[in-house]
Amino acid sequence: MKLFSFPAAAIEKAIAKRQLTLPPPHKEWFAQRWAQKPYRKAFLDQKAVPLVTLLAKCKTWDDETFNSEMAAWDARFHEAEAEVLRPLVQGDGLLQLMQKAIPAERAQALLNKLDQRADQ
């Protein structure tokens, strides 16, 4: 899903900032992986950027488009990854203006997607 280009550096900065406030077990797990370039690139390309794209676009999509894009986003999240990304949906920091007009049910659908675990 590459509908528009959101600056990856801004997303990386938000993730690095969020990593500092993670609770201990998640902090160690995520920090180990985030330090590895292949993981960082995959996490950004397959999880963070699609989430930001959905956040940015879902306000103007009809239900059918939103549902099809959510279904097309085939991602599973480790608990620590969900903790890192959850504030993006909830309006913390980087994307506050983007979240303002998101319908509550779509924000909840995005949060539910973050609860899909990689180990399931």
What's the confidence (pLDDT) of residue 119?
Answer: 56
Q: How many residues does the chain have?
A: 120
- 25 phi, psi to nearest 5 deg: -65, -35
Q: How confident is the model at residue 1 (pLDDT cuts 50, 70, 90)?
A: very low
d(CA 8, CA 41): 10
d(CA 89, CA 110): 7
Query: Is the pLDDT reported for residue 96 higher than 60?
Result: no
d(CA 115, CA 77): 7
User: Residues 13-18: what's their mean pLDDT?
Assistant: 86
What's the confidence (pLDDT) of residue 35?
Answer: 94
- Closest by alpha carbon to 22, among 37, 11, 34? 34
Query: Is the pLDDT reported for residue 40 higher than 80?
Result: yes
